[in-house]
A = this chain, B = another copy of it.
Amino acid sequence: MQVSEHRRGPVRSEAARVAILEATARLFETRGYDQLTMEGIAAEAHVGKQTIYRWWPSKSAVVADCMVEGLLLREYMSPPDTGDLRADLTVWIGGILNFLDGGGASLVRSLVAAAIDRPSIGERLGEALGINHLLNARLESAVDVGQFSPTRPTQPFSRALVGAIVLLALAGEPAEPETAAQLVDAVLG
């Protein structure tokens, strides 16, 4: 029984989809979230506005798909693993703080704004940025070596660490050199 899986007519244009996501990522990184407009995306991607609205309900949904596709951030997401948890976390957070001071804070603010606008982005943000995956994996590895107590739940720990970083990004104050080490000392004990 040959059943057509497609309606009649042309299928969704992959070229348009990619062009929209890439244009969004491009504008997002240069202009920030609130300067990002549907009309701007359409123009940048050489696409009709209706083509965006046909597949995404809102600006933040487009941004969310940009993250899922890995077009945003991707770096700064994977803590190193040299066997020394405290040192690894300090280096990792130090790198993130440098990124924040170098203009990354506004990008993070924009991502949080997108997450507020559409809570599902918040989950994707957390997952895509490795709150659960990469950082948790590093913590599990530390448990095996006896550097992290098995009684401490890793997921809430990761949430606290990432939450502190997000608050630092929201505050917008330049981080002191010792901020990373202090944060690690504070949460590791």
Does residue A154 face the partner (Cβ distance < 8 Å to B)?
yes
Distance between A150 CB and nearest chain B CB, rounded to angstroms:
11
- Name the B residues within 8 Å of A164 (CB-CB): 156, 159-160, 163
Distance between A31 CB and nearest chain B CB, rounded to angstroms:
15
Distance between A174 CB and nearest chain B CB, rounded to angstroms:
12
Once the chains bind, are A186 and B152 in contact (CB under 8 Å)? Answer: yes
Kindly identify which residue among B34, B160, B171 contacts A186, using a CB–CB cutoff of 8 Å.
Answer: B160
Task: Point out residues on A near B: beta carbons under 8 Å.
Answer: 34, 109-110, 112-113, 115-117, 119, 122-123, 126, 131, 149, 151-157, 159-168, 170-173, 179, 182-183, 185-189
Q: Which 4 A-B pairs have the closest CB atoms?
A: A163-B163, A119-B172, A156-B186, A157-B186
